[in-house]
Amino acid sequence: MKKSIGFLLTLIIAALAAHWATVTAFPRLAMSQAMERLGAGGVNAVSHAPRTTASSRAVVRPAPDLLYSVCVYDLWQAPVIIQASPSPGYWSLSLYDQRSDNFAVFNDQTHPEGLSVTLVRAGAAAPPGAGLVVESPSRTGIALMRRLAPEEASFAAADAQRQGDSCRAAQR
Amino acid sequence: MDETDGFGHNPSSASAGAALRTLKEACMGGLLRFLIALILGAAVGVGSALWLIREGPSWGGAEVGGWTGSIAAGSASADPYTRAIVAARGLLALSANEAVYFSRSADAEGAPLRESCVYRVSGSAPPARWWSLTAYAPDEFLPQNDDQALSYDATRAGDGPFRVQVGGERPADGAWISTRSAGTPITLMLRLYHPNPSLLASPSDWQAPRIETVNCAEDGA
């Protein structure tokens, strides 16, 4: 009887601990996998995703009406400067930390002319002359630019505009 | 003093050895039970978490007319379950002020959305600056077809009420989202960009789009 209670107690505690560890670790693992896929072209560099099609497999539930550009950032050595060009209609620059939280977002209504963001580690000093400074809760993460492009014409316009996007480590 | 028995054994050391063996067996048995419980518990814990994250119901979300969405998706205030579920089913979701996401995998009668059926989705213009409706396969990606009809959005629908057919074959007229090669169950996702503040304050007041089954291949209709 005593042995059975001990067995059950151990099993329940192990199950609860493993359950909680999986739930809390899952977003970080999903982000790590996404950063590996999306950052294949290198970190702190913009990569323009092709138009979303039925065979797009980089991220779950892709939106076929939006054109995506992405920068996997790493603040290990220096702050990172991200520039987003404006685009006709809706566009946004959203920043995600290692835990998958969308900790900042800017769009065509807040910055109709586009914007330049200097991303720094939490508590770190911004480089001199930096304009808009945002603290990232984690060292690595993803900057995602979305542009509305549901039709051929809007796709061509958004595709031309996004060539002005950039993502680079700040000079020390 | 000689404590050996007639065969040259020491009875007291023999009983001590037996006790030691019993103790050792008991310890080994206990350790084995402990390890089995630990492994079983870990398997149950990891399995239940993965099931909940990938297949379970949406967590802490708003339910509107059968559509489920989470106002906390993508934000730092999301609870661990919402964060994990969003990471599995909609990684890189925006926070609610920028966009909210509602999904539904059943028709108005509660039957799962199937590839072999045709559905009519209709309603008034969703309360947002821009919206889109997309069908996803069970693997959370777009249906593998080349019909060029993956979604329907406000740009095409205009500001008034909308109606779109969801099914495997292009209708004679009207808007269409292709679910050919999607598999079953299909999930419809409604994205609302720059949602009206009233929706965020009180999602249940919104009259969400209705999904009606028009016919199913098995019906012979």
Domain ranges in chain B are 12-56, 61-219
pLDDT of residue B25: 76
pLDDT of residue B12: 65
The fold of the A46-169 domain, in CATH, is Immunoglobulin-like (2.60.40)
Asked if A15 lies within 8 A of B75 by C-beta distance, the reply is no
CATH number of B61-219: 2.60.120.600
| 3-state percent breakdown (helix, strand, coil) of chain B, nearest 5 | 30, 25, 40
CB pairs under 8 A between A and B: 178
Taking residue B187's Cβ as centre, other Cβ atoms within 10 Å add up to 19
- Number of residues assigned to chain B: 221
pLDDT at A160 exceeding the cut of 90: yes
| Partners of residue A65 in chain B, C-beta under 8 Å | 132, 134, 151, 153, 155
Phi, psi of B23 (to 5 degrees): -65, -40
How many CA atoms lie less than 13 Å away from A60 in the CB half-sphere?
Answer: 19
pLDDT at A65 exceeding the cut of 80: yes
- Which tens digits make up the pLDDT trace of A93-133? 999 999 999 999 999 999 999 999 999 999 888 888 888 99
Estimate to the nearest angstrom the gap between the alpha carbon of B30 and the chain centroid: 39
User: To 10 degrees, the CA torsion angle through A2, A3, A4, A9?
Assistant: 90
A19, A57, A90: residue with CB nearest B49? A19
Is residue B204 within 8 A of residue B64, CB to CB? The reply is yes
pLDDT at A32 exceeding the cut of 80: yes
Asked if B92 lies within 8 A of A105 by C-beta distance, the reply is no
B45, B92, B132: residue with CB nearest A17? B45
Q: Which two tokens stand for residue B164?
A: 């779109």
Give the integer Cα–Cα distance in Å for B78 and B84.
9
End-to-end CA separation in angstroms for chain B:
102
Q: What is the ipTM of this complex?
A: 0.82
Segment holding B117, helix H or strand E: strand B117-123
* Chain A: residue whose CA lies nearest to B48: A19
Domain boundaries, chain A: 46-169
pLDDT of residue A2: 77
Give the integer Cα–Cα distance in Å for A103 and A100.
9
Banded model confidence at residue B15, pLDDT cuts 50, 70, 90: confident
Is residue B122 within 8 A of residue B186, CB to CB? The reply is no
